[in-house]
Structure 1
């Protein structure tokens, strides 16, 4: 579960125009509709910042979701009769498709002279011409074209591709010196390191620019054996290890780095997390707090010293330092302090700490958690008035807390128990309008009688699904954006990585763009995580940028992408399952990574256990030897069969079916015997396994987001609620 859920008024820009555009209706009527800047609902200032490529109306961009065979005729028509620059886009995309299918002559006819008409992609057009000449066996002409790129575009990222392919050592040296962040430069470096591993300067380039690429940890392990490394080099190595979750190795590297607050904290934390030398970790934390008494890392350092104290009383002075000096961490320290006093049976001091948390840090996540704990206790005792009083402030005082939509929903439920139906309705409307991305927005929408499905019938629903067009990246050059919007993912990645040198401290726009690029490359887990983590930005400026970005449907569609749509729809139809429910479960299980494996061996998109796969194969009369759990089609075939099986076992109740998918039918059967099941929302909250309780909420939260983002009817409904701004009622109102 994500750390926070931000409060938002998300205008979903719903309606026929959006969904017709997304579906590709612009192809037949390119003059109709708004610019992409307007389509994204950006302010004029933001729209002005977009590249020229992203502002024009395009009949070509929607076609990238189609296969080359499907789009060939349309591209040919636009390439002959369309307006510029769509005419040039169509020619380039069609030529690229021809090259992929080894039709060099057809590609060359479209590409010849195109570099003059389409300057934003000119060097890439010349490189495509060279590819076409290679296909035709004209090696000399291909070489001449690559030399032309070297001469005419020496400062462009595309030149690295020419240098790489020409493969002259001098040109490779130039690529390393001029474009260290280009992925083809990394390939050049890796080849040189295979020939001679004793080249620390080349290894440092990979540590700095390619630390998130496969195999880099091995390079770091070799690099640390080199002599003559400088403190700044050790900082680069430590950071690369840290980003790869190699915390013990990071601590060793940071020990040789400059003594900054961050480096000292990470050195100590690496030792602490790795369980190595507790005394040394404490000594380094003490060095941190003494040498950098006001740094933000120092507040965390005091908290870590409290964690490592030998007994509870020894921790209290550290916590008091945090409370006195570091307001950002004070709420965490107060919670720990209250818990220590409770363990010491000092209830008076514990209550004083809790009261200080509520009065001085009432807007913190920790205050929300304390309020919710009390509200739950009161509700369990059927004191719904007091539960309401404790829960209501979470919604208004802690809107960024993950508990805010949950508290808002239960404020409505408790209002119903108190006979306050209008107050309940207002609470549900508030949750839908303020927290539309939450699982509890779905439950609230259901309580309001909206056509969103419930636990008993969601399986049978077949909502319309309208795929989205790629969003305009928020960072990067015009060249990169053009390549990305045309679906030229390999070249777009090469271009973007060359430009994206601020990887350690990216802007909000850069991190979102990096997430989009990873999604385009099929790196769905890391892409979704990067985009989701934008909500955790801390500075006011970054929070404002995130809030602005998160107003757009394109942000949420990137956070809830829709890969494997055709395969999901195919097997969902055969199993008579709601395809959005299947997608929701898949997102939770694997983040759409087809080769991912759990620690117990569950494999692929729907995390099918090998033994379960064999059992299902025997049921559906398929030879298990022909099944590959890492193959998306096979995995979805088996996973949807099992999801149908769990539904049939529980009379098509999707909540129980999803719980069973996670925890197994035996556990669910036991819970049905011990937990009252008349109220299904209360049943979910009472599931005794934390993992399964969160899993159920997350899967249905995913379902709701796919429904509101890709179904026109529900998108329109949510957009309407988001404009109403209802006020949450008080208990006595």
Structure 2
């Protein structure tokens, strides 16, 4: 009994010593990192050395930062030895990639014999790391291997990435063939750099002939089309004799007479791609009130392109619906639904019955029960006549996410808790993302998503949650209350439902505060700089550059203010949301020409597919947010026609 008591006393004392040891180790790590950021390298070395010795949970972090401090102090041999200790002791560390980069740089500093092997080994595992590729090319050139260096410089130039221009300075014009330039243009197109792609393609044209020349011209046409220089693109496509792209470009350039005079040619072209242009022409006839002409052209499409029958029949049914011939439209939509089982067809079948004065509740009910998409959601609202469009956050009762206990999680997640406790949020996020790639556990992912949301990394939690099979358990992460205090404040100020704002942010940027579109839109609400500067004159935030626009508070302030103005102007959600995506002027034109009887008619008839899908996605996300987080009666409020 005496021995047992002594044993428990020993265990108690040992655990207290261990706790004190770990606590001091944590403090050493925090101080060491702070000294490193303050460029006080001798102090950083002192404290990070202690942390590496005393705090095993995060020893790999201590060793990495210690290596950084030694590097900055000029102690490259010690830095290399430290980083190699990290790689040896922790081969599966989330810091492995950073450690290998540090190893390469330190080995180069001391002219280690293994430098080339280190470069080659790293690039075998990380083939797309342009930073290290460029460093390797420079090292090869410096070490009398210009041929191998030039090959890498050439690859970097062709890739079209951030090192492309500097790599070009290492090459001669004769080093690049027309094939090389064509490959580069394709990469630039994939990177949405259409202007640079155009320049490269014109260089390639000067060198090319034969079959490749035609391919280069086609790609040049694509680059001009993407820049919305449609007439120029059409002339290029005319040279390649590509009627589909030529007429699509002329349609976009609003060369109406040219396109209309080519209808018979398109009908007899035998090119299935060209059906999209014919459908657009038929739809324009319908919008202009020429219902008979539209139906006639749709029937010709069916006759000439039977494989594209579905789209043309939909066009006929939609024309009948908008012209008020609901019996005919219901027959067509029923036929389409019976054959293709698409909720879109069932919804408009129900609407046709509804507009005929008959009861379509069984069709709406079937939509609601079968599927959760835009049509099932809007059908549910039709069954209840109206939807609540809350104007102030004061009326919203938010159900906060319940954070599960972490007891079930493995010890590996203790590192995350510790990093967060120390204030190392960026490192904690990287650790979580690293673990997420290694686990299949729903509980692990749930915990990681919860923690990512806590520190504001909503874009990552949405991405992780969307990949999980148990989707219902992850709904609060798929639809997070991102930046809630800011959203709530400005939504209240500008008299909007904050859940609508979150729905817009979700579809605009997936909560990535640093999101940048190919067109130049920035931040959470994807503001164009011109829009931000325009509204800043009113709001007086002090926007000076893109950094200011990317700021979360600034971006939400301007975006919410802009959307609130659109909703006031249109007195309806759908046109306002469409305007946010496509511009106010064009939406007013659509509304004037369409003379729509309801919001769903307008949404379905939006000419731009991107905008049409965008509006559907925003409203679907809004309905989901209301379902998850609002305890109010969603069906009370203004009529659905005001959507």
TM-score bracket relative to the smaller structure: 0.5 to 0.7
Residue of structure 2 aligned with 1:178, choices 118, 121, 127: 121
Match of 1:612 in 2: 535
Number of residues of Structure 1 aligned to a counterpart in Structure 2: 535
The CA distance in 2 between the partners of 1:338 and 1:647, in whole Å, is 31
Task: Show the 5 A alignment for 1:203-242.
Answer: 203-206=153-156, 211=159, 213=161, 215-219=162-166, 222=169, 225=172, 227-228=174-175, 237-242=184-189
For residue 553 of structure 1, report the CA deviation from its aligned partner: 5.9
Q: Does residue 1:269 correspond to 2:218, yes or no?
A: yes
Contact 1:415 1:424 (8 Å CA) reproduced: no
Give the superposition deviation at 1:314.
Answer: 6.3
TM-score (norm 1): 0.53
Residue of structure 2 in register with 1:445 after alignment: 380
Q: Does 1:383 align with 2:325?
A: yes
After superposition, the Cα gap between the structure-2 partners of 1:305 and 1:611, relative to the gap in structure 1 and judged at 3 Å, is closer
Asked if 1:407 corresponds to 2:407, the answer is no
Q: Secondary structure at the match of 1:161?
A: helix
1:462 aligns with 2:396: yes
| Partner residue, 2:363 | 426
CA distance in 2, matches of 1:449, 1:465: 24
Written as runs of structure 1 = structure 2, the 5 A alignment for 1:266-665 is 267-274=216-223, 319=270, 330=272, 332=273, 351=299, 353-355=301-303, 357=305, 361=307, 366-395=308-337, 397-398=339-340, 404-421=342-359, 423-430=360-367, 433-434=370-371, 436-438=372-374, 440-449=375-384, 453-455=387-389, 462=396, 464=398, 488=427, 552=471, 564-575=483-494, 577-588=496-507, 592=511, 604-606=523-525, 607=527, 608-617=531-540, 628-644=548-564, 654-655=573-574, 658=577
Q: How far off is 1:610 after superposition?
A: 1.4
- Between 668-677 and 124-133, the greater mean CA deviation after superposition: 668-677
Equivalence map 1:12-51=2 (5 Å): none
What displacement does 1:459 show? 7.7
Deviations 1:438-482 (A, max 9, x none): 3x34322322449x9445769875263656999xxxxxxx99x99
Query: 1:388 & 1:138 partners in 2: Cα distance?
Result: 80
Structure exhibiting the larger radius of gyration computed from Cα positions: 2
Output the CA distance in 2 between the equivalents of 1:671 and 1:252. 38
After superposition, the Cα gap between the structure-2 partners of 1:267 and 1:461, relative to the gap in structure 1 and judged at 3 Å, is farther
Please give the secondary structure, in 1, of the residue aligned with 2:345: helix
Between 1 and 2, higher relative CO (CA 8 Å, sep ≥ 6) is seen in: 1
Quick check: 1:162 aligned with 2:69?
no
TM-superposed CA distance for 1:253, in Å, is 8.8
Residues 130, 141 of structure 1: 8 Å contact kept:
yes
CA contact (8 A) 2:391 2:495 kept: no
Instruction: Tell me how far 1:581 sits from its aligned partner.
Output: 1.0
Segments of 5+ residues of structure 2 without an aligned counterpart are 1-14, 37-43, 225-231, 251-257, 286-292, 405-411, 439-448, 633-643
Aligned partners of 1:571 and 1:640 also within 8 Å? yes
CA positional deviation for 1:132: 8.2
Give how far 1:270 is off.
0.5
1: CA distance between counterparts of 2:72 and 2:567? 53
Residues 495-515 of structure 1: CA deviation (Å, up to 9, x unaligned): 89x99xxxxxxxxxxxxxxxx
The aligned residue for residue 325 of structure 1 is: none
Distance in 2 between residues matched to 1:493 and 1:611, nearest whole Å: 40
The secondary structure found in structure 2 opposite 1:577 is coil
**2:635 is matched with which residue?**
none
Contact 2:64 2:86 in 1 (8 A): yes
The answer for the alignment partner of 2:151 in structure 1 is: 201
Distance 1:205 1:565, change over 3 A: farther
CA shift, 1:370, in A, is: 2.1
* Residue aligning to 1:146: 83
> How far apart, in 2, do the equivalents of 1:212 and 1:559 lie?
34
Q: How far does residue 354 in structure 1 lie from its aligned partner after superposition? A: 0.4
Choose between structure 1 and 2: higher helix proportion. Answer: 2
| d(CA) in 1 for partners of 2:498, 2:175 | 58
Distance 1:614 1:308 in 2: 37
Distance 1:379 1:278, change over 3 A: closer
Equivalent residues of 1:409, 1:428 under 8 A apart: no
Q: Distance in 2 between matches of 1:419 and 1:267?
A: 58
